[in-house]
Chains A and B, each alone.
Chain A
């Protein structure tokens, strides 16, 4: 087991803007750290540098107190699961899982013991003789995991391993993967652009944009206390509403936005004149789309709530002051003063 740290790491491809731009972060021993960000923000590049598949332009990678920046992948005791799974197409499931052990020169008997162990926790027992192309997406993913697992690595690097699964399988795979990580306690860095996955699985989340870290924290911190407007609007669906007032952006989550009449005078709240335009019924909840001034905002209500206003007519809404978040209108950075 080991912690993983990157220090001021940079990766520049040619003349382009850097894909990874001075990122420093640490995954503690045993932690499940999620790298979350939009497509092209540098998640894969960062992960590949940690794994040693991509040499950094500058900066260092530290695994368990050793600087490994210039060591090849096989010297780093890491296991990686690729987005494409990258199984060896000409080998059976058994040989795929055995490959890293053979490469290490593990004794034959020990090999079989570990392969059986990995196969049984991942439910691959009946599939050992098949070739990768004879497997479903979910089965391939489990083979890729088993191959990573048998090496007993000190760090797991996972690059969007669930993105090829359909919604249902993904939910159960998410569950299995997280339980599995908890039970073996291996430090894990998990890349995704899916916020539900990130919120549900991560001990902590690092939100990336344009090659930089915008915020690192627990899922709750990221959601409740976003460090800037990028994080505020990247997480949550629908995302945080932002209304410009003076030099500040006033931010609030759709679930905190409700008719002023519902608020009681004892708890201070901020007023907004809201014009609802459209209702969206989603089964468990309903979303009301509308405008405050000329900015689009959304309100979210449980489907069971009776709504006493009608579409098209302005109505007085409010948000409890403790749920308000303020951002500098120009820089987008969080401001902790109440205007």
Chain B
């Protein structure tokens, strides 16, 4: 038995020799036990929802499986050859790259401008920041349905506005029709998909850049002021170089999101008109699920894999470099 008088309350605290026995009570203090227990849910989740489907996709891609005949017979690279020879696949491949790259180029320019504006002090800054972030918080399917209405072939409010401004209609800048037919003309449909991607990935990029801007010490900006650097010199020689690591992260995130996304195309255009906005993800879905050719669908989807591996590797390298600066 030991005893001690509490200095704060004056109570007598006692404990017995039993308290020092290594029984079950302290089991969870052991990190070699606690660690695996805490990790278990995440590991199960990843194996169940990522590992198993991925293994299945590989198995399907090298076999002749269809929805009707699910037995897996090995066919080597035949699926990949078949898929590659298809015109729509070629277009989907081009579109995937085009949407990802063009949208991210636009996003990075706009995000830089937005972040700079939002890092300044002005009234209502919190509200504006909230509004900028809003597209990111909307479930993508809902947001795209909103866009579907906005770009409607008949009732598009954009068209209505253009007509009001005298830009649309007979004898005007955008031609004689009453509607632009955003989703029905190939190039406008592509532009529409691009716009939605930009609209959707811009908020995250902006927030990431804002964090990066805030991390540049005020003293460094002041020093550049005192050193006589003009706005553009400060922008290109101080801000951009200091932001490059975090900008890379923002771009890579955007590329992954746009490259793997099929919701936008699926809801907005269903790949049309005549497959003009088809991307790998949507084409894989249409082939594998809607056309019941699981093997071809899996092979198409697997084309995404090498690119995403490269992107992930670059991201890890950038993250590691940012840690050592």
Contacts and interface: CB of A to CB of B under 8 A. Distances in A.
B225 interface: yes
Contacts of A87: 220, 223
Contact of A103 (B219, B222, B228): B228
B81 interface: no
Contacts of B241: 90
A87 B238 CA distance: 11
Given A84-B219, A89-B220, A89-B242, A99 B225 contact: no
A246 B228 CA distance: 58
B126 to A, nearest CB: 18
A53 B325 CA distance: 28
Given A89-B220, A89-B242, A133-B325, A79 B237 contact: no
Contacts of B242: 89-90
Contacts of A102: 233
Interface stretch (A70-78, A237-245, A308-316): A70-78
B222 A86 contact: yes
A100 B227 contact: yes
Contacts of A83: 219
Contacts of A104: 228
A119 to B, nearest CB: 17
Contacts of A48: 222
Given A86-B217, A103-B233, A80 B228 contact: no
A84 B225 contact: no
Given A84-B219, A86-B219, A133-B325, A53 B237 contact: no
Contact of B223 (A52, A80, A90): A80
B220 A74 contact: no
A103 B233 CA distance: 7
A4 B224 CA distance: 22
Nearest to B230: A103
A82 B217 CA distance: 12
Interface string A83-111: 11111111000000001101110000000
Given A88-B238, A89-B242, A90-B241, A79 B217 contact: no
Nearest to B241: A90
B55 interface: no
Contacts of B226: 51-53, 73-74, 78-80
A74 B228 contact: yes
Nearest to A105: B228
B131 interface: no
B229 A103 contact: yes
A250 interface: no
B222 A99 contact: no
A147 interface: yes
A74 B229 contact: yes
A142 interface: no
A151 interface: yes
Size class of the B contact interface (CB-based, 8 Å):
10 to 19
Given A84-B217, A86-B220, A151 B227 contact: yes
A133 B324 CA distance: 10
B283 to A, nearest CB: 43
Nearest to B220: A86
A151 B228 CA distance: 10
Interface in B189-231: 217, 219-220, 222-230
A72 B219 contact: no
Contacts of A151: 227-228
A86 B224 CA distance: 9
B325 A103 contact: no
Contacts of B228: 73-74, 100, 103-104, 151
A280 B107 CA distance: 68
Contacts of B230: 103
Interface in A93-142: 99-100, 102-104, 133
A78 B219 CA distance: 15
Contact of A99 (B217, B219, B227, B325): B227
A82 B219 contact: yes
B225 A86 contact: no
Contacts of A79: 226
A86 B233 contact: no
B220 A88 contact: yes
Contacts of A51: 226
Given A88-B238, A103-B233, A53 B225 contact: yes
Contacts of A80: 222-223, 226
A83 B224 CA distance: 15
Contacts of B227: 74, 99-100, 103, 147, 151
Contact of B229 (A53, A78, A99): A99
Nearest to B227: A100
A86 B229 contact: no
Interface string A49-64: 0011100000000000
A84 B220 CA distance: 9
Contact of A73 (B220, B225, B237): B225
A89 B325 contact: yes
Nearest to B233: A103
A80 B237 CA distance: 19
Interface in B221-271: 222-230, 233, 237-238, 241-242
4 pairs of A and B residues whose beta carbons are closest in the complex: A74-B228, A86-B219, A100-B227, A86-B223
23 contacts: A48-B222, A51-B226, A52-B225, A53-B225, A53-B226, A73-B226, A73-B228, A74-B225, A74-B228, A82-B219, A84-B219, A85-B219, A87-B223, A88-B238, A89-B220, A90-B241, A90-B242, A102-B233, A103-B230, A133-B325, A147-B223, A147-B227, A151-B227
Interface of B: 217, 219-220, 222-230, 233, 237-238, 241-242, 325
